[in-house]
């Protein structure tokens, strides 16, 4: 058999990269400032703490291969999971904790919040700045990092991805939808879960015959269901097999409640972000959508028979976004690996510049332990050099569009029609009123123009039912969630809404609570002028089609070139659907709706996590990097640029996921911890020079461009440079491959 393999090559001179915008903020947000869907307000908001993350020198449990007298190796064999209950692991864990205790005592002690053992050796503790500075010089301490907040990066995409193709679809290769992802565990580090959602029922599965196919207990699972506020052990089941929560960075339950009193001090989701990502990655197939989204029928997760374990370390904020402290996020990652997850989805912002960030380090050892990690690239596009999660052991995912669109229109009484995104049912003709003229006495003008709900406005309503009842209301976009605006209109008795932008930004077809059409800022002056005449408006039924040109890179998706390492690695790795993704959510943060459309790289990452679970199910012996390679080498160009365009490469990486081709990639580019350490030796400061010398002597290249990954990037090419790659044939038999590359001339 003769086959060809696609490798994206980037030969670019990035000597001027220091002139690119440097993104140091941890905030990822969602595709726009008003996409957040939380509906409660609070009076306190903890943005910082006195917590430091301390990394120790000894290997974490999953990386310890012996060498300390009396302590046997704890590194699991390839394809095996670490067993926290084994005597060897417990003995080594005790040794690590004793070293932690000694380091903490050396600076006078401090309140320890987390102990990290499995993927990251260290601890988090409340310290003074002086203690932290002294601790940095204590023997056995590698690094002391100040804790900080990280933010969430926020019908059916399985069909868009052809997973359900009856001949070549991955679902079919696994025995049909009733087996796709069977018994693979997806760990979701996020804002929790709404366990009552049908996406997580263990009695929702159906065989091809139509008979119920319940989930059976998973004997190898070591996780647990942690009780808490509005969350009991019975909220877990044989589909949702684990749930834990982490808020020590906020000061525990009491500190969390002081800062964010609306939140649940438990694994229960308030914001909705975590429920959305979990149901996207591994929610049940055939889940019927209720509420305003019922027009879409049913939805499915990418790996519908996967098990779900949630690790809540993000908490809903007063701006509608979810955020959490690095100290808690690292604890969640560490525990997820110990519990036995196969895949981790991490739809959370991260560093753009630091391979040795605590989260990146934890994921290094998670990947070394056999866990496939998908992470969101960030939502800071279209600005260049904004991509987060720079590390090669992570599959970093940008966001693309898909072919579904909803288009509607509104016709004013003057017979002028305006068209825009909509999922509306028809309404009207009805009187049209500008929200600025629809307020209660002494209402704030800004709150009125933005159509705040009472909860958006500190408990006080702004729209007057006497002025709004029976009317279509014109509302400005901005600040509060878009669906909250329609909630405010409905609460005041309105029958429809025209949502208009105030500046050039995205247009979105959301699941609003009253019929709504979303229009651009260029239409705003005429709409405002007509609304002042006390005229009428008629919203027509929206047309939902599946013919939009797709995929294209979403405008908000963060892109390269990579700031970390001087551009010697291509990020994002690939692109997956991330715009207007329909999935389950938590009703409290979503105007009482159980399903919602979200956009962001937060939504694209769980698509890849689900695909990782499917490939793990199909090829149990594949390493995380083999799965990543298969997804990259099989990727398709997006419609907004080919792999010969530098700008397109930095937007899409290896291209848009094509999972059916990834199931049989032919060749893969594999790598492991030693390869990553050699990469780090050349890409960043901070590694032990003796380790780098040893790797070099053992034949590992310290040039970051030589890392064995399915792309080639040279940050500063001067003259001729030879790049090496190593491939493994995973095809069914012998084959002959022809080499070619697409990329920039070099």
Cα 278 versus chain centre, distance: 10
Task: Give helix 601-618 / helix 273-282 axis angle, nearest 10°.
Answer: 30
* Sheet strands (E) in 137-290: 141-146, 149-151, 185-190, 240-245, 287-288
- CA dist., res. 576 & res. 554, Å (int): 10
Residue 513 tokens read as: 């609570």
Catalytic annotation present for 190 = yes
**Containing H/E element for 27?**
none
**Containing H/E element for 288?**
strand 287-288
- CA dist., res. 299 & res. 604, Å (int): 16
Peptide bond into 181 cis (omega under 30): no
Three-state SS annotation for 403-441: CCEEEEEEEECCCCEEEEEECCCCEEEEEEEEHHHCECC
Question: How many angstroms separate the Cα of 447 from the Cα of each of 29, 477, 519, 592?
Answer: 22, 11, 20, 21
DSSP letters along 454-486, please?
A: TTTTTT---B-HHHHTT-EEEEE-SSS-HHHHH
- CA dist., res. 242 & res. 185, Å (int): 10
Contact 122, 101 (CB under 8 A): no
* Pairing assessment for the beta strands 343-346 and 185-190 based on DSSP bridges: parallel
Q: Match 């032919």 to its residue by tokens.
A: 666
Three-state SS annotation for 1-22: CEEECCCEEEECCCCCHHHCCC
Give me the catalytic one of 422, 580, 602, 623.
602
Contact 530, 412 (CB under 8 A): yes
Residue 188 tokens read as: 């979701």
Among residues 345, 314, 308, the alpha carbon closest in space to that of 199 is found at: 308
Catalytic annotation present for 285 = no
Catalytic annotation present for 273 = yes
Give the strands of the sheet with 307-312, arranged side by side: 240-245, 307-312, 185-190, 343-346, 372-376, 395-400, 574-577
* ∠ CA 680-685-688, rounded to 5°: 75
Exposure b/e, 284-321, CB count within 10 A at least 16 = b? bbebebeebbeebeebbbbbbbbbbbbbbbbbbbbbbb
Among residues 238, 233, 246, 232, the alpha carbon closest in space to that of 274 is found at: 246
Number of Cβ within 10 Å of residue 554's Cβ equals 27
* Cross-strand partners of 115: 123
The SS3 assignment for 640 reads coil
Give me the catalytic one of 34, 58, 153, 190.
190
Question: How many angstroms separate the Cα of 718 from the Cα of each of 157, 663, 709?
Answer: 43, 38, 22
Cα 389 versus chain centre, distance: 11
Question: How many angstroms separate the Cα of 30 from the Cα of each of 358, 554, 565?
Answer: 23, 12, 26
Q: Match 């090419």 to its residue by tokens.
A: 717
User: Rg of the chain's alpha carbons, rounded to an integer?
Assistant: 26
Backbone angles phi, psi at 215, to 5 degrees: -80, 145
Cα 216 versus chain centre, distance: 28
Give me the catalytic one of 179, 273, 402, 607.
273
Please list, in sequence order, all residues whose beta carbon lies within 8 angstroms of the beta carbon of residue 45, skipping any fewer than 6 positions away. Answer: 259, 260, 317, 318
Contact 675, 391 (CB under 8 A): no
The SS3 assignment for 327 reads helix
Among residues 305, 296, 301, the alpha carbon closest in space to that of 280 is found at: 301
Fill in the DSSP letter of residue 120.
S
Active site residue ranges: 190, 273, 602
């Amino acid at each position: 058999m003769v086959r060809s393999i696609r490798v994206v090559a980037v030969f670019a001179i990035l000597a001027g990269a220091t002139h690119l915008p440097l993104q140091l903020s941890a905030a990822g947000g969602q595709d726009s400032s008003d996409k957040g869907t939380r509906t409660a307000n609070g009076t306190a908001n903890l943005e910082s703490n006195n917590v430091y993350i301390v990394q120790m020198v000894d290997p974490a449990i999953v990386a310890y291969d012996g060498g300390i007298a009396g302590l046997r190796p704890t590194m699991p064999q390839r394809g095996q999971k670490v067993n926290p209950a084994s005597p060897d692991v417990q003995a080594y864990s005790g040794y690590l904790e004793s070293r932690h205790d000694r380091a903490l005592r050396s600076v006078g002690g401090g309140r320890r919040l987390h102990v990290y053992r499995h993927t990251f050796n260290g601890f988090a503790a409340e310290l003074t700045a002086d203690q932290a500075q002294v601790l940095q010089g204590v023997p056995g301490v590698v690094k002391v990092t100040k804790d900080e907040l990280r933010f969430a990066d926020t019908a059916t995409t399985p069909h868009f991805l052809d997973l359900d193709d009856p001949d070549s679809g991955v679902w079919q290769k696994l025995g049909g939808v009733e087996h796709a992802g069977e018994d693979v565990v997806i760990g979701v580090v996020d804002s929790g879960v709404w366990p009552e959602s049908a996406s997580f029922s263990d009695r929702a599965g159906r065989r091809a015959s139509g008979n119920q196919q319940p989930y059976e207990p998973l004997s190898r699972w070591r996780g647990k269901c942690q009780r808490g506020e509005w969350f009991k052990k019975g909220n877990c089941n044989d589909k949702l097999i684990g749930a834990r929560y982490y808020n020590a960075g906020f000061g525990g339950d009491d500190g969390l409640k002081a800062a964010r009193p609306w939140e649940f001090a438990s694994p229960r989701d308030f914001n909705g972000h975590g429920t959305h990502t979990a149901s996207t990655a591994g929610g049940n197939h055939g889940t019927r959508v209720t509420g305003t989204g019922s027009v879409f029928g049913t939805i499915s997760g990418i790996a519908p028979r996967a098990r779900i374990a949630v690790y809540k370390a993000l908490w809903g904020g007063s701006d509608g976004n979810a955020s959490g402290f690095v100290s808690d996020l690292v604890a969640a990652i560490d525990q997820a690996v110990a519990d036995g997850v196969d895949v981790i989805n991490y739809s959370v912002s991260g560093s753009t510049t630091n391979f040795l960030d605590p989260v990146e380090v934890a994921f290094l050892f998670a990947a070394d332990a056999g866990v496939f990690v998908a992470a969101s690239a960030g939502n800071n596009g279209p600005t260049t050099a904004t991509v987060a999660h720079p590390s090669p052991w992570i599959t970093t995912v940008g966001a693309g569009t898909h072919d579904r669109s909803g288009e509607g229109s509104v016709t004013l009484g003057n017979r002028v029609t305006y068209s825009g995104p909509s999922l509306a049912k028809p309404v009207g003709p009805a009187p049209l009123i500008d929200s600025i003229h629809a307020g209660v006495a002494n209402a704030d003008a800004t709150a009125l123009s933005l159509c705040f709900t009472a909860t958006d406005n500190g408990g006080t309503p702004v729209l007057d039912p006497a002025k709004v009842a029976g009317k279509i209301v014109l509302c400005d976009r901005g600040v509060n969630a878009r669906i909250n605006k329609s909630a405010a209109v409905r609460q005041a008795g309105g029958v429809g809404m025209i949502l208009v932008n105030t500046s050039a930004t995205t247009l979105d077809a959301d699941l609003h609570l009253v019929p709504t059409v979303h229009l651009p800022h260029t239409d705003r002056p005429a709409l405002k002028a007509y609304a002042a005449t006390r005229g009428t408006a008629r919203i027509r039924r929206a047309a939902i089609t599946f013919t939009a040109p797709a995929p294209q890179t979403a405008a908000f998706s963060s892109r390269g070139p990579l700031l970390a390492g001087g551009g010697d690695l291509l990020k994002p790795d690939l692109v997956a659907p991330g715009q207007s993704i329909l999935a389950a959510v938590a009703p409290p943060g979503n105007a009482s709706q159980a399903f919602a459309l979200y956009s962001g790289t937060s939504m694209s990452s769980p698509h890849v996590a689900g695909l990782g679970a499917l490939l793990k199910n199909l090829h149990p012996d594949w390493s995380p990097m083999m799965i990543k390679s298969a997804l990259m080498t099989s990727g398709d160009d997006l419609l907004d640029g080919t792999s010969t365009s530098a700008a397109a490469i930095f937007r899409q990486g290896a291209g848009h996921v094509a999972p059916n081709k990834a199931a049989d990639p032919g060749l893969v580019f594999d790598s492991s911890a030693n390869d990553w350490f050699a990469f780090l030796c050349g890409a960043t400061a901070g590694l032990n020079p003796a380790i780098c010398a040893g790797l070099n002597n053992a034949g590992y290249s310290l040039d970051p461009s030589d890392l064995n990954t399915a792309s080639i990037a040279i940050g500063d090419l001067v003259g001729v440079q030879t790049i090496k790659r190593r491939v493994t044939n995973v095809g069914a038999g012998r084959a002959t491959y022809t080499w070619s590359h697409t990329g920039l001339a070099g």
